[in-house]
């Protein structure tokens, strides 16, 4: 009886153990397809693999609906990678912000083609047939490659990758403060502002120390020579400025002298012309006086009575002539001459 009772119990235990083994083996078998994915995840540590051979990369985010729609097509394309002689990879921009900055990804999903270190942007749909034709027909040859500073391997994009990685770390830290610890958002912002100021001051101090370490002071005799040369140059410049000012002053003085000489010559010419006019007027007046005297002598011809009178009274006639006043015409002429002289003198002044 005891043996009969133990038999069913052993069989029940064996059945339970088989069920437990099946239950544990089920999830493992379900996870096998995911583990056998032909798409290679790319990170900051292994992204340099794309510099050799031919690759196709996909940048995605887990929350992106468009990225989720192209997952199955991308897996199919990766399975046929051996036939197409191409490697297929993917980059999670949430986990690898540095790689998204290196390739300067601004839209999702983003596809890139790489051939021996030369990168091109694939802008077609993420469908298996289009991707396959892009490789088989070599349509990538008609696409302009990313060269210069846009190339992911350039120094510029390496710096961009560093900035994106820092921003990703700051974002994760902000989420840790606000979500995990429950700190208000403004407190997190204040913390980052203070940290930025402190970091900037620290980096400035480091730069000053580095410059002091690598700075080699000049010997004294060289520094003295440089100072003397600087002083001599300043003195030479000052002398040049003084010479230029003196030349300007001399030229101004010469111009003033020339103008004064010209004015004096003009005045002298005017004075000579006035004197010539005055002499002509005096000559004309003198000629007029002589004509008047000759006319007066012609009107009274000398007769016998006059001759006798002149002979009898010569002394009286001479006294009468000496006592007679100047005629009015001569006085008028003299007055006009004086007025003109005074006018010419006023003009000369």
Terminal CA-CA length for the chain:
166
Query: Exposure of 145 by Cβ count < 10 A (0-12 exposed, 13-18 middle, 19+ buried)?
Result: middle
* Dist. CA 321–CA 17, nearest whole Å: 185
Q: Is 64 a catalytic residue?
A: yes
Q: Are 112 and 119 in contact (CB under 8 A)?
A: yes
40-41 β-sheet, strand order = 40-41, 87-92, 54-60, 110-115, 118-122
**Catalytic residue selected from 6, 67, 187, 326:** 67
Bridge-based pairing state of the strands 54-60 and 110-115: antiparallel
- The one catalytic residue in 64, 187, 213, 326 is 64
Going from the C-alpha of 253 to that of each of 51, 185, 249, 262, 265, the distances in angstroms are 81, 79, 6, 14, 18
Q: Is 6 a catalytic residue?
A: no
* Residue 21 vs residues 18, 31, 43: alpha-carbon distances, Å: 5, 16, 36
**Quick one: which of 97, 128, 123, 103 has its CA closest to 111?**
123
- What would the two tokens of residue 326 be? 């100047």
Q: Distance between CA atoms of 277 and 341, rounded to whole angstroms?
A: 11
Q: Calculate the CA 284 to chain-centre distance.
A: 84
So which residues are the catalytic ones?
Answer: 64, 67
């Amino acid at each position: 009886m005891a043996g009969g009772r133990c038999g069913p119990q052993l069989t029940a235990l064996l059945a339970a153990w088989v069920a437990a083994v099946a239950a544990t083996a089920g999830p493992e078998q379900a996870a096998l397809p995911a583990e056998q994915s032909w798409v290679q995840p790319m990170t900051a540590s292994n992204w340099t693999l794309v510099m050799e051979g031919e690759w196709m990369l996909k940048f995605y985010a887990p929350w992106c609906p468009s990225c989720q729609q192209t997952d199955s097509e991308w897996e199919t394309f990766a399975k046929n990678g051996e036939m197409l002689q191409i490697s297929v990879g993917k980059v999670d921009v949430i986990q690898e912000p540095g790689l998204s900055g290196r390739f300067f990804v601004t839209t999702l999903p983003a596809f890139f083609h790489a051939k021996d270190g030369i990168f091109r942007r694939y802008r077609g749909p993420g469908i298996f047939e289009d991707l396959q034709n892009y490789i088989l027909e070599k349509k990538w040859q008609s696409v302009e490659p990313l060269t210069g500073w846009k190339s992911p391997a350039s120094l510029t994009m390496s710096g961009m990758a560093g900035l994106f990685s820092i921003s990703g770390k700051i974002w994760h830290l902000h989420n840790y403060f606000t979500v995990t610890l429950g700190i208000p958002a403004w407190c997190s912002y204040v913390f980052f502002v203070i940290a930025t100021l402190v970091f900037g001051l620290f980096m400035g101090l480091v730069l000053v120390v580095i410059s002091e370490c690598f700075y080699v002071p000049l010997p004294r005799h060289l520094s003295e020579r440089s100072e003397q040369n600087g002083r001599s140059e300043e003195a030479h410049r000052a002398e040049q400025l003084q010479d230029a000012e003196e030349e300007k002053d001399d030229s101004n003085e010469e111009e003033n002298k020339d103008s004064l000489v010209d004015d004096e010559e003009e005045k002298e010419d005017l004075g000579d012309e006035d004197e010539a006019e005055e002499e002509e007027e005096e000559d004309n007046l003198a000629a007029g006086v002589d004509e008047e005297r000759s006319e007066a002598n012609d009107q009274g011809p000398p007769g016998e009575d006059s001759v006798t009178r002149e002979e009898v009274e010569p002394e009286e006639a001479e006294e009468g002539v000496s006592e007679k006043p100047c005629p009015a015409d001569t006085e008028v002429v003299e007055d006009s001459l004086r007025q003109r002289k005074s006018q010419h003198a006023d003009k000369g002044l």
